[in-house]
Each structure stands twice: as C-alpha cells, then as structure tokens.
C-alpha cells in the first residue's frame, strides 16, 4: 500500500516501517487494513475446514475422518467464520470508513483500537492450537461441541473446550473495545454540521451494532466463565444435581447468540443502501424509516433468543411469546427491504461488480429472511429443528447476507483504499461463480432438511446421497472461486488503473471527497457539512 | 511530532505504540498457561507467571504514558469527551457482565429448582427434593460423577454483609466529598477523601476475606455447594475482584492527587475512577438484596 506518499502532512510523521508499522500502528486505516486482511485469511481457513467436512459428506459412510474430528471441524468452522471472518470484516470497514464518512481525523481511541485488533490473532491461535497440540499427543483436539458450547456436552469435552472458552474471552474483549471506539467516534468525532440525522447509514448501523455488542458480549463471557467453573472448579450452574440446569446455558448463550446474527448483519445493512444509491444514481429511499428500523431490529434482537431452542421443553406461553416477538422482527426488516428496493426503483442503474453483489445480496438474503420466518413458527420448527434446513437457512443469512455483503463492500471501497481499480472482468466472474455455486450448495440442503437429514452428523442414510453429492461439488466450486477474489484484491493492492477521487460516478459522501488512497490522517482540517 | 497541533481544533492521535501488542502476547501466554494448569500439563504455572508479569508491566507503561500525556496538556476538551463517553460505555458492558450472573441466579431460583421439585414422584430420581431457597440441589449422579447435595448454612445478611454495605456506601460518600474538594480546589479535602475511600475499600475486602474464610471453614458453604454456593461465590467473587481493581485505581489517583495532578475542570482520571467506584457500589446493593437478604 502506498497511501503515505499522497498525504499532505506526512513529512511530520516519523513512523516505523516494515512489520513494526503494523504491530504498533495507531492509524485507523492501517488497523482497518489489518482487520480486513485477518478476516480474509480466516475466511480461507474456515472455508478449508468446511470443504473437508463437505468432502466427508460427499458419500454416505465414513471415508476421510473420524466423527470426533468431524465434530471439531464443524464447530471451529463456525467460530472462525463468525468471530474471525465476519465480525473483523465489519470492524475493518468501520475502522477504514467511519472516520472518512463522518469527517474525523482518526478513530477516537487509537491505542485501544490497536489493542482491539491485536487481540484477534491470539484468539485465533487459542482456537486452533488444540489441533496442533493433538498432533503431538497433547489433549484430544479442538472444541467438538459445535460453536454453541451446549452443556453438558461442553462439560464432558476435552481441553479444546477450555481453549475455545479463552478464545471467546479474548474475542469478547476485542469486540467490547471495538464497540467503545465506534460509539465514541460516532458520538464525539463527527465533523461540525453533521447532525445525527445527516450521518451516513453505515454510521447508524454500526451504532446499533455496537449497542448490541455492549449488551450481549459480556453475557457470553459470563456464560463461558460459568462453563469453565462447572468444568474445573466444582460449580453446578448447568448441572441438575446441584440445582442448576443445562437449559440455563442455552438461554445465556442465545441471549448473546441471537443478537450476534444482527451484529454480523447490521453493518452490511448500513453500507448496502449506500452502494445501491451509488449505482442507481439517485438518493437513498426512506433514510429516516431505515434508521428507525435499524433501532427497532436492534431492540427486538435482545428479546427473542429462545426461538433457537423451541424444542427444548418450554412452557407454552413462553413459546408463544418468543414466536410472536421473533416474527415481529420481520416487520422492520420488511421496511428495510422495501427501502432498498425503492432505492433502485426507476434509478439509472449500472452493474459494476459491487452492484452485482448488492442486487444478488438482496435476493439471496431475502431467501434467508423468509426461511427464517418459517423457522420462527413453533409448530413448524418442531419439524425443521436441527435439520439441514436450518443449516441452509443460516447460510443464506450469514454467507449470502453476510459474506456476499462484505464482498460488495470490499469491491465498493477497494479502489478508495488502494488507489487502484480492480479487474471488473474478474470481479464479475467471481460474482457469478459465487452466486451460482452458493445456490447449488445450499438449495439441496433445504430439501435434505425437509426430508429429515439431521445436521452435525458425519454419516447419513442412502436416500440423501444425491443431494449431498451435488452440494459437495458446488461447495468446492464456491470455495475455489474465492481464490479469484483473493487474486483480484492482491493485484488491486499492487497496482492497476489509477482510481479517481470519486471512483464511482454516482458516489456520494465525504469519503469520496478525499484522494484515493486517502492521506495518512484523513481530515487534518475538519470539513464543514451544511 | 504528529501530536503537535496544526490548527486550533486538532484531535490528539497518539504515536505508534508497542504496549497493546505485547499485552496481547501476555494474555495469550497467561490463558494458555491457565489451560495447561487446569488440565495438569507441564509448565502451566510458569507460563501464567510470565504472562501475568508481562500484562502488569504493560499496564504500568501504558497508563504511565497516558498520565504523562495528560500532564503535558495533550488532552483538551475534545479528547476529554471521548474518554468520558468511552468510560460510560465500558461501565455499561460491565453491567451486562454482572447481569449474566444475576440472570443465572434468578433462573435457578425461579425456574430450575422449583421445576426439579415439581416432577411426579414416580418419574423422578429426585423424590425427596423440595422447592426451597437456599438450595444446593437434589444431588445425584450426573456425567458419571456422584454429587451429594452439600449441607451448608447460608450467609446471613445482617452480619458482615451489612457491615460491608455500610463500608461501601460510606466510601461512595467519601469519594464524592473528595470530588467536592477538587472542585473548589481544596487539595487537602481531596487527598483525605481519597485516602478514606481507599481505606474503606480495603476494609471491605478484608471483611469479605473473613466472610469467605468463615463460609469455607465453618458453614460448609463452598463453590461446590450447588446452586446457592455457585451463584453466591461467583457473584460476590467477581464483585470483590472489581472492588480490588477499583481500590487499585483509587490508589493511583490518590498518589496522583498528592503529586498535584488534576484541577477543577480537568480531571477525567479522577472522575472515571469515581464512576467505576459508584458502579461497584450499585452492584453491591443488588448483591446485598438478592444474594444475601431475600
């Protein structure tokens, strides 16, 4: 990256170079770059894990691995993808773009910002170290409970559970620090004249995200701490013999786990309307309605958690409450969908790579949302629960709604970050390969789930063989087409056609008034917003 | 360098620092050592020691840098507001952390224990178990390990815990009195107020240590004493840990006050610690009502 050369005030800086630059940086763009790079690397790591799983599922029977190892792979895949790929990507965008969008010189608390990032690699090491240790005969591998840590399975589990617990602690500290930084930056660093209701949607969505993180991440930390003391220090939080209850863990976990879905998705709902308006060349539809919807979803997210375990044996009034409140989320979400579609309605559209991803995202994330509505129905959920239908549903929300959203953001802002245009041809190829192979991977899984195939089991009945084979082949295409993405990013960082300041014809917002790439300190003089 | 202002309205962005990344390495070492230790692998304790030392050293360096930047006048109103908002958000996250443990307590009292006692005697292994609080649970074999419900006496509210309530509430008043001293530039009142607050904090910790000692040696109340023991020690333990941190922070600002730091309109360091202390105070009131009293 070469943005230091274009900065106006860079002669004042005496910054370390090489590896020390990245270890010690307090600059929001450097830290944002590290978050995004980390996210990309962990995306490939988590993807490799699940390709091994899909390879095992190519045929019925056990071919490649033992069930214990299979369990470790699916659990660590989910933890890596959620905590180490999706969340850091959102935080990376926040670091890079929030100060640019609100006209700030940097994030409000730059040293904490650095710490927030540098907690992630240790957390990733803790999560994956047990795999390596097991090769040397220490312990029995990584956490094998799935990403949900359900007790009592996690109480019986081996040392991998302890590693995962501490990994979650570090990730939690990182998320809380990141949230503090985002909230403070948005509330205190906006340029004069930029009132809250003039903020870019991305800032609003991150404010809601940070609010959810602050409310829920510490609860997860508390839950896994209780798990740790149940495992090693004789407490009985999740043990009926002592008056506790394994279901208590599910409540605590999903009090965090459900808002987590929105934590991952909200930042994307923030920048997606910005992408849509850019390539529709007309202003965003329903700004105020979107802001209110974001907050409504944020608030509802905190009170619907038990729909993740409808089948656990709750009293009927509780089931009804959690069903209705869950379905209520679809109302503000429908408002958002309406606004996104209305934004492109009658616009003069052009289909550059970010816009392709954005439109594909609306469709695919829509499928994810609608299948979620099906799962929210208590009576229907008894059939779908713990089946491949659930797997397909949350991959439509988290891969299509999450990852493809992130990819849209990467393509949208990459020229601004690097100062070079990426290859449109490869970008479009990446989109079509991803969208098609994604659907071929997961549509069969809806049918598998409806037919009764349970998730998290390495073997299956013969009747499921064809759909699993299709799903596996498509998953490998999906995985390999991400290499195009990596290649496109790397070559864009190294060079390419020079990007203009505005980059995209219809782009609006403060970040497009700065040169591409922007100077080291974004706004040394704060711009005035009328 | 970069910290010098280019114009009147310049935000202070610190120069590159290595403390955070070294602290993260310390945390990684501490966590790995702890895991090795509880799983009986070699070198766990040594790793924990190294990790803890690294973390403590980095906290000293980092906070030292913050204090010297503050004394050099690099933080003005704008930076000050960042710290204030940040501290408020941080305290909110601490509230959520305690809420998890309160939630566990309420769940066990209101849902899991009544339910365990409510099953049809023909279909339960817990025939003689009745719904009551405090409870150590019905006992039984879970995950192949037999647990005999602990016999213990619960901690009475109106002994040491009431004294502790008095100590903490008083300390909340003394820290506010110290703040008043700072506001009217009465340094003596500031230092005495802080000194009293630190003393009350330490007295609280000593009382709690005595209480824990009594619980373990005479009352049969341990971490393993079922739902009551687990929730009692985890809630009061984490609170006590926060009191300890708060006391350490108070000691730092006591020394800073004695060296002449802070003035009437520039004292976020003082206020941040005072807010934290009040937060710890409020959590204690929740503990006193729901853990000890009701």
Render B145-165 in DSSP notation, one character per residue.
Answer: EEEPPPP--PPPTTTHHHHHH
DSSP states along B103-156: HHHHHIIIIIHHHHHSS-GGG-S-TT----SS-----EEETTEEEPPPP--PPP
Cross-chain CB nearest to B13 (options A26, A225, A251): A26
pLDDT for B123 equals 86
Tell whether the torsion through CA atoms of A359, A363, A366 and A367 is positive or negative.
Answer: negative
- The residue to which tokens 């971490």 are assigned: B223
First to last CA, chain A: 33
The answer to whether the beta carbons of residues B246 and B253 sit under 8 Å apart is no
| CB contact residues (below 8 A), chain B span 252-291, against chain A | none
Q: Closest approach of chain B CAs to the CA of A172, in angstroms?
A: 11
- The residue to which tokens 């540098």 are assigned: A118
Q: Which CATH superfamily is domain B77-294 in?
A: Cytochrome c oxidase, subunit III, four-helix bundle (1.20.120.80)
pLDDT digits (tens, 9 = 90+) for B20-69: 999 999 999 999 999 999 999 888 999 999 999 999 999 999 999 999 99
| CB contact residues (below 8 A), chain B span 94-123, against chain A | 94, 96-101, 103-104, 107-108, 111-113, 115-116
Q: Does B230 lie at the interface with A, CB-CB under 8 angstroms?
A: yes
The answer to whether the beta carbons of residues A267 and A275 sit under 8 Å apart is no
d(CA A35, CA A47) in angstroms, rounded, equals 18
A234 and B19 within 8 Å at the Cβ level: the answer is no
Q: Does A4 lie at the interface with B, CB-CB under 8 angstroms?
A: no
Cross-chain CB nearest to B135 (options A12, A106, A243): A243
| Domain B13-74: assigned CATH number | 1.10.287.70
| CB contact residues (below 8 A), chain A span 457-516, against chain B | none
pLDDT digits (tens, 9 = 90+) for A188-224: 999 989 999 999 999 999 999 999 999 999 999 999 9
The answer to whether the beta carbons of residues A235 and B223 sit under 8 Å apart is yes
Which residues make Cβ contacts (< 8 Å) with residue A362, sequence separation at least 6?
A337, A340, A341
B104 and A24 within 8 Å at the Cβ level: the answer is no
Q: Dihedral of the CA atoms A450, A454, A456, A458 (nearest 10)?
A: -110
Q: Closest approach of chain B CAs to the CA of A447, in angstroms?
A: 36
pLDDT band at B9 (very low <50, low <70, confident <90, very high): low
The answer to whether the beta carbons of residues A188 and A282 sit under 8 Å apart is no
Reduced to 3 states (helix: H, G, I; strand: E, B; else coil), residue A337 is: helix
Query: Which residue, A110, A165, A205, is CA-closest to A409?
Result: A205
d(CA B221, CA B237) in angstroms, rounded, equals 14
Q: Is the pLDDT of residue B289 over 60?
A: yes
Query: Which residue, A215, A301, A207, A293, is CA-closest to A258?
Result: A301
Q: What angle do CA A372, A171, A104 make, to 5 degrees?
A: 90
B24 and A119 within 8 Å at the Cβ level: the answer is yes
Q: Which residue of A has its CA nearest to B81?
A: A188
d(CA B243, CA B248) in angstroms, rounded, equals 9
Q: Does B244 lie at the interface with A, CB-CB under 8 angstroms?
A: no
Phi, psi of A529 (to 5 degrees): -100, 130
Write b or e for each residue in B77-90: b if 16 or more Cβ atoms lie within 10 A of its Cβ, otherwise e: eebbbbbbbbbebb
B230 and A129 within 8 Å at the Cβ level: the answer is no
Phi, psi of B42 (to 5 degrees): -65, 160
Q: Does B222 lie at the interface with A, CB-CB under 8 angstroms?
A: yes
Which residues make Cβ contacts (< 8 Å) with residue A344, sequence separation at least 6?
A276, A279, A280, A359
Q: What angle do CA A323, A325, A326 make, to 5 degrees?
A: 65
Q: Does A136 lie at the interface with B, CB-CB under 8 angstroms?
A: no
pLDDT for B122 equals 87
Residue B260 exposed, middle or buried by CB count within 10 Å (0-12, 13-18, 19+): exposed
Pick the CATH number of A23-513 from 1.10.150.120, 3.90.1480.20, 1.10.357.10, 1.20.210.10: 1.20.210.10
Mean pLDDT, consecutive 10-residue stretches, chain A (530 aa), reads 36 73 94 98 97 97 94 96 97 96 93 96 96 91 94 92 97 97 96 93 97 97 97 94 95 97 96 96 96 97 96 94 96 97 96 97 96 94 95 97 97 96 97 98 97 95 96 98 97 94 92 91 79
Q: Closest approach of chain A CAs to the CA of B188, in angstroms?
A: 33
Reduced to 3 states (helix: H, G, I; strand: E, B; else coil), residue A420 is: strand
Query: Which residue, A391, A495, A372, A482, is CA-closest to A45?
Result: A482
A126 and B28 within 8 Å at the Cβ level: the answer is yes
Locate A479 and state its tokens.
């995985």
Which residues make Cβ contacts (< 8 Å) with residue A160, sequence separation at least 6?
A72, A130, A139, A140, A141, A142, A143, A144
* Test the A interface: residue of B65, B109, B135, B142 with most A CBs within 10 Å: B142
Residue ranges of chain B that CATH labels 1.10.287.70 = 13-74
Query: Which residue, B145, B109, B148, is CA-closest to A152?
Result: B145
- Which residues on neighbouring strands pair with residue B142, listed in sequence order? B145
Query: Which residue, A465, A397, A473, A407, is CA-closest to A441?
Result: A473
Mean pLDDT of B75-87: 94
Tell whether the torsion through CA atoms of A322, A371, A397 and A247 is positive or negative.
Answer: positive
Which residues on chain B are in Cβ contact (under 8 Å) with A137? none
Q: Closest approach of chain B CAs to the CA of A251, in angstroms?
A: 9
Query: Which residue, B176, B167, B214, is CA-closest to B194?
Result: B176
d(CA A315, CA B165) in angstroms, rounded, equals 38
Q: Which element (helix H / strand E) includes A73?
A: helix A67-79
CB atoms under 10 Å from CB of A295, counted, come to: 16
Locate A257 and state its tokens.
């786990």
Q: Does A229 lie at the interface with B, CB-CB under 8 angstroms?
A: yes
Which residues on chain B are in Cβ contact (under 8 Å) with A24? 16-18, 21
pLDDT for B5 equals 36
B226 and A129 within 8 Å at the Cβ level: the answer is no
Q: Does B241 lie at the interface with A, CB-CB under 8 angstroms?
A: no
pLDDT band at B70 (very low <50, low <70, confident <90, very high): very high
pLDDT for A14 equals 65
pLDDT for B121 equals 85
A26 and B14 within 8 Å at the Cβ level: the answer is yes
Q: Which residue of A has its CA nearest to B109?
A: A243
* Whether the complex's predicted ipTM surpasses the cut of 0.85: yes
Reduced to 3 states (helix: H, G, I; strand: E, B; else coil), residue A142 is: strand
- The residue to which tokens 């009985």 are assigned: A236
pLDDT digits (tens, 9 = 90+) for B123-154: 888 888 999 999 999 998 877 788 888 899 99
The residues spanned by each domain of chain A are 23-513
Cis peptide before A517 (omega within 30 of 0): yes
d(CA A451, CA A449) in angstroms, rounded, equals 5
Cross-chain CB nearest to B9 (options A112, A125, A526): A526
- Which residues on neighbouring strands pair with residue B145, listed in sequence order? B142
Residues in chain B: 294
| CB contact residues (below 8 A), chain B span 63-92, against chain A | 78, 81-82, 85-86, 89-90, 92
B62 and A525 within 8 Å at the Cβ level: the answer is no
Which residues on chain A are in Cβ contact (under 8 Å) with B98? 222
B13 and A25 within 8 Å at the Cβ level: the answer is no
Phi, psi of A461 (to 5 degrees): -75, 155
pLDDT digits (tens, 9 = 90+) for B227-283: 999 999 999 999 999 999 999 999 999 999 999 999 998 999 999 999 999 999 999
Residue B14 exposed, middle or buried by CB count within 10 Å (0-12, 13-18, 19+): middle
Reduced to 3 states (helix: H, G, I; strand: E, B; else coil), residue B266 is: strand
* Test the A interface: residue of B67, B69, B86, B127 with most A CBs within 10 Å: B86
* Test the B interface: residue of A129, A186, A236 with most B CBs within 10 Å: A236
Eight-class DSSP state of A106: S
d(CA A172, CA A164) in angstroms, rounded, equals 12
Q: Is the pLDDT of residue B2 over 60?
A: no
d(CA B87, CA B89) in angstroms, rounded, equals 5
d(CA A428, CA A363) in angstroms, rounded, equals 17
Reduced to 3 states (helix: H, G, I; strand: E, B; else coil), residue A454 is: strand
The answer to whether the beta carbons of residues A46 and A84 sit under 8 Å apart is yes
DSSP states along A12-25: G-----THHHHHH-
d(CA A103, CA A480) in angstroms, rounded, equals 39
d(CA A62, CA A53) in angstroms, rounded, equals 11
| CB contact residues (below 8 A), chain A span 355-414, against chain B | none
B16 and A16 within 8 Å at the Cβ level: the answer is yes
Which residues on chain B are in Cβ contact (under 8 Å) with A225? 234
């Amino acid at each position: 990256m070469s943005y230091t050369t274009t900065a106006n005030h860079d002669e004042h800086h005496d910054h370390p170079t090489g590896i020390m630059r990245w270890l010690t940086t307090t600059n929001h763009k450097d830290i944002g770059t590290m978050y995004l790079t980390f996210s990309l690397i962990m995306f490939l790591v988590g993807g490799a894990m699940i390709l091994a799983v899909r390879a095992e599922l190519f045929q019925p029977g056990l071919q490649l691995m033992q069930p214990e190892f299979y369990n470790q792979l699916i659990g660590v895949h989910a933890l890596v993808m959620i905590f180490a790929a999706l969340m850091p990507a959102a935080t990376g965008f926040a670091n890079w773009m929030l100060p640019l969008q609100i006209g700030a010189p940097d994030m409000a608390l730059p040293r904490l910002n650095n710490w927030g990032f540098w907690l992630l690699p240790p957390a990733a090491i803790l999560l994956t170290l047990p795999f390596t240790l097991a090769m040397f005969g220490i312990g029995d591998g990584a956490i094998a409970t799935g990403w949900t840590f359900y007790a009592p399975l996690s109480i019986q589990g081996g040392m991998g559970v302890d590693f995962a617990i501490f990994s979650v602690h570090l990730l939690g500290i990182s998320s809380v620090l990141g949230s503090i930084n985002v909230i403070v930056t948005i509330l205190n660093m906006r340029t004069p004249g930029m009132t809250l209701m003039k903020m870019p949607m991305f800032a609003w969505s991150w404010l809601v995200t940070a609010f959810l993180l602050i409310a829920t991440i510490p609860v997860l930390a508390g839950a896994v701490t209780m798990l740790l003391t149940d495992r090693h220090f004789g407490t009985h939080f999740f043990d009926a013999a002592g008056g506790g209850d394994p279901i208590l863990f599910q409540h605590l976990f999903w009090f965090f786990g459900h808002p987590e879905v929105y934590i991952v998705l909200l930042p994307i709902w923030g920048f997606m309307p910005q992408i849509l308006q850019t390539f529709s060349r007309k202003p965003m539809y329903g700004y105020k309605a979107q802001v209110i919807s974001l907050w409504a979803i944020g608030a509802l997210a905190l009170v619907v958690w038990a729909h993740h375990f409808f089948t656990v044996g709750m009293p009927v009034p509780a089931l009804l409450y959690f069903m209705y409140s869950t379905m209520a989320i679809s109302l503000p979400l429908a408002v958002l969908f309406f606004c996104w579609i209305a934004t492109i309605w009658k616009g003069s559209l052009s289909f550059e790579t970010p816009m392709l991803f954005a439109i594909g995202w609306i469709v695919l994330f829509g499928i994810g949302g609608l299948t979620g509505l099906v799962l929210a129905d208590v009576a229907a959920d008894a059939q779908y629960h713990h089946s491949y239908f659930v797997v397909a549903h949350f991959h439509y929300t988290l891969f299509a709604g999450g990852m493809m959203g992130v990819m849209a953001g990467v393509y949208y802002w990459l020229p601004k970050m690097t100062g070079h245009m990426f290859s449109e041809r490869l970008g479009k190829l990446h989109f079509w390969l991803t969208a098609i192979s994604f659907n071929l991977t997961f549509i069969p899984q809806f049918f598998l789930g409806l037919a009764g195939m349970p998730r998290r089991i390495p073997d299956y009945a013969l009747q499921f063989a064809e759909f699993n084979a299709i799903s596996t082949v498509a998953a490998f295409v999906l995985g390999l087409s991400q290499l195009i993405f990596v290649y496109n990013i790397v070559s864009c960082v190294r060079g390419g056609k020079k990007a203009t300041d505005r980059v995209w014809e219809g782009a609006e917002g403060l970040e497009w008034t700065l040169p591409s790439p922007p100077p080291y300190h974004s706004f040394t003089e704060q711009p005035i917003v009328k | 360098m970069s910290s010098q202002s280019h114009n009147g309205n310049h935000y202070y962005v610190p120069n590159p620092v290595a403390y955070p990344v070294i602290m993260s390495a310390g945390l990684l070492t501490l966590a790995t050592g702890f895991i090795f230790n509880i799983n009986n692998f070699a070198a766990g304790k040594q790793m924990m020691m190294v990790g803890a030392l690294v973390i403590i050293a980095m906290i000293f360096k980092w906070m030292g840098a913050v204090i010297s930047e503050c004394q050099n006048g690099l933080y003005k109103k704008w930076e000050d507001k960042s710290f204030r908002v940040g501290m408020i958000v941080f305290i909110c996250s601490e509230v959520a952390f305690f809420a998890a443990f309160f939630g566990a307590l309420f769940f066990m009292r209101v849902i899991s224990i009544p339910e365990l006692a409510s099953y049809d005697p023909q279909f339960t292994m817990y025939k003689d178990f009745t719904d009551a609080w405090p409870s150590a649970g019905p006992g039984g074999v879970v995950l192949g390990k037999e647990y005999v419900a602990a016999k213990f006496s619960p901690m009475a509210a109106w002994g040491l815990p009431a004294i502790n309530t008095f100590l903490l509430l008083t300390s909340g008043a003394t820290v506010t009195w110290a703040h008043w001293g700072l506001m009217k530039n009465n340094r003596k009142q500031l230092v005495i107020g802080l000194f009293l607050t630190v003393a009350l904090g330490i007295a609280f910790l000593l009382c709690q240590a005595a209480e824990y000692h009594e619980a373990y040696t005479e009352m049969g109340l341990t971490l393993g004493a079922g739902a009551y023991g687990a929730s009692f020690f985890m809630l009061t333990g984490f609170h006590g840990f926060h009191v300890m941190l708060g006391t350490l922070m108070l000691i730092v600002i006591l020394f800073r006050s004695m060296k002449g730091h802070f003035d009437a309109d520039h004292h976020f360091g003082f206020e941040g610690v005072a807010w934290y202390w009040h937060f710890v105070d409020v959590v204690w009131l929740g503990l006193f009502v729901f853990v000890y009293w009701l």
